[in-house]
Amino acid sequence: MDQPIRIVLAKVGLDGHDRGIKVVARALRDAGMHVIYAGLWQTPEAVVRTVADEDADWLGLSLLSGAHMTLVPRVLDILKQADLANVGVIVGGIIPEADIPKLTAMGVAKIFGPGTSLDDIVAFLKTPREHKP
């Protein structure tokens, strides 16, 4: 029997807006995934520690503060240093269009902006990685 997808969701930095990530967490849980919500105001180091401790398949970061070009690269670097580069990373929140190619070039699997359907997020995570763009 297949194990459910394990995903850590976290708010990194000083962003205190968590309604969206809680809605996503509930949708992913309802879709059969094992969701670990790390909470608000996480450091990149703490998030990666949670990913390792929880043996996560995915890490979902939510950023609304504008610090995505500082925090996401830091998280990606720490994941690599911790030998966790196999963990997929998705980002949600307010990400300017011009920054999306930069983040994907760094290794972010997908960026979900405001108004993204919950079904689209679930479908993306359930698609086998070898079929992802």
Counting as low any pLDDT under 50, the low residues of the chain are none
pLDDT attached to residue 68:
96
Q: Which long-range contacts (CB under 8 A, 24 or more apart) does 106-109 make?
A: 106/72, 106/73, 106/76, 107/76, 108/72, 108/76
pLDDT for res 29: 98
- The radius of gyration of the chain from alpha carbons, rounded to an integer in Å, stands at 13
pLDDT at 16: 87
26 secondary structure, DSSP code: H
DSSP E strand boundaries for 57-117: 58-63, 88-93, 110-112
pLDDT of 34 reads 98
In this predicted structure, what is the pLDDT of residue 132? 57
- Residue-wise pLDDT for 48-77, tens only, equals 999 999 999 999 999 998 999 999 999 999
